[in-house]
Amino acid sequence: DAKTTQPNSMESNEEEPVHLPCNHSTISGTDYIHWYRQLPSQGPEYVIHGLTSNVNNRMASLAIAEDRKSSTLILHRATLRDAAVYYCILRDGMYSGGGADGLTFGKGTHLIIQP
């Protein structure tokens, strides 16, 4: 089973910020928090990942709680093209050979953007 929990769906308006939450209360000290998204009719694509500190890239920001038991993906200004399913997973940074937990995605959050 996935080690993360996410809301099934969220709705936001275009050009407004979106905060997508993810709970991972059993996270270990070496787990990286990864976010991926899947646009309609496409394979998932990488969005952002981090370990302890907040991270920013051209797509989004990742805010990690101080106790690391939750994180939030922030889309600063949502567009219609951001409508997708967003997945949050944990991947063990110490494990070099794989690990099914770090490959179990669950159902993610279906983000709906209203024009």
Partner 1 sequence: KAGVTQTPRYLIKTRGQQVTLSCSPISGHRSVSWYQQTPGQGLQFLFEYFSETQRNKGNFPGRFSGRQFSNSRSEMNVSTLELGDSALYLCASSLVGGANVLTFGAGSRLTVL
Does residue number 46 form part of the binding site for partner 1 (CB under 8 A)? yes
Q: How would DSSP label each residue in 59-92?
A: S-EEEE-TTSSEEEEEESS--GGG-EEEEEEEEE
Q: Measured from the CB of residue 57, what is the shortest distance to partner 1 in angstroms?
A: 11
x/- binding map, residues 57-96, to partner 1, per CB under 8 A?
----------------------------x-x--xxxxxxx
DSSP secondary structure code for residue 110 in this structure: E
Task: Out of 18, 20, 27, 36, name the contact with partner 1 by CB under 8 A.
Answer: 36
Which phi-psi region, left, alpha or beta, contains residue 94 (left: φ > 0; alpha: ψ -120 to 50)?
Answer: alpha
Region 96-115 residues binding partner 1, contact defined as CB under 8 A: 96-100, 102-108
Q: Measured from the CB of residue 23, what is the shortest distance to partner 1 in angstroms?
A: 16
Q: Give the three-state DSSP class for 43.
A: coil
Residue 13, both tokens: 């308006």
Binding site residues, partner 1, CB under 8 A: 30-32, 34, 36, 38, 42-46, 49, 51, 85, 87, 90-100, 102-108
